A and B are shown apart, each in its own frame.
Chain A
Amino acid sequence: AQSVTQLDSQVPVFEEAPVELRCNYSSSVSVYLFWYVQYPNQGLQLLLKYLSGSTLVKSINGFEAEFNKSQTSFHLRKPSVHISDTAEYFCAVTSAGGYQKVTFGTGTKLQVIP
């Protein structure tokens, strides 16, 4: 079985400040890790993913996440947030080598304050 923990349900941050959204996972097998973003009244869309190779992965809009196997974490960071980053962010995990039974975290609402 696998699980994902997002400890912060809401994170308020001022515009242009840095932010970190935390994600920890547990699994007995190798995993793939994802961050999805959900803007208000929309579906989820992929932000970035870790499959293998470099442990630091980046998105096109300035977010990055680092896979840390020893700490079983995949925290999402951005050095300077914008109002447009206000959304809910979901960390997700799937088991390597198997069908896509995705396990989602409970989500973190990022509120960027002007």
Chain B
Amino acid sequence: NAGVTQTPKFQVLKTGQSMTLQCAQDMNHEYMSWYRQDPGMGLRLIHYSVGAGITDQGEVPNGYNVSRSTTEDFPLRLLSAAPSQTSVYFCASSPQGWGNTEAFFGQGTRLTVV
């Protein structure tokens, strides 16, 4: 029972580099989302998806792209990393995405941009 799996766990990037944070879930959940966690700011929604082929922006989408080609995978792309993107990133999924359902979180990716 893997749940939500994020890779890598740690990453250091130079300013301007690109990378993809991977997220996969094996629970057949329709709804998936990406958050960033910064000290004193809680979790902020970056992008979310209500099903394969459907994505939308959250609260802080600038500098990030997503796609959802399968139900299982929801990668987050940083096209040109900036120091302001240094953060801990969490992927989450839930069965249907309605407000009354629990979100299941991955273990996080700690990203440092130098």
* Residues of A close to B108: CB separation below 8 A: 41-43
Main secondary structure of the interface of B (DSSP, over half): strand
Q: What 0/1 pattern do residues 44 to 86 of A give for CB contact below 8 A with B? A: 1110010100000000000000000000000000000000000
* Residues of A close to B106: CB separation below 8 A: 43
Chain A's interface size range is: 20 to 34
Are B43 and A90 in contact (CB-based, < 8 A)?
yes
* Residues of B close to A46: CB separation below 8 A: 102-103
Report how far A97 CA is from B98 CA in the complex, Å. Answer: 7
Q: Is B100 an interface residue (CB 8 A)?
A: yes
Q: Is A25 an interface residue (CB 8 A)?
A: no
* Residues of B close to A105: CB separation below 8 A: 42
Report how far A104 CA is from B43 CA in the complex, Å. Answer: 6
Contact status of A43 and B58, CB under 8 A, knowing A9-B40, A90-B43, A102-B45? no
* Residues of B close to A99: CB separation below 8 A: 31, 48, 50, 97-99
Q: Is B94 an interface residue (CB 8 A)?
A: yes
* Residues of A close to B41: CB separation below 8 A: 106
Report how far A102 CA is from B99 CA in the complex, Å. Answer: 8
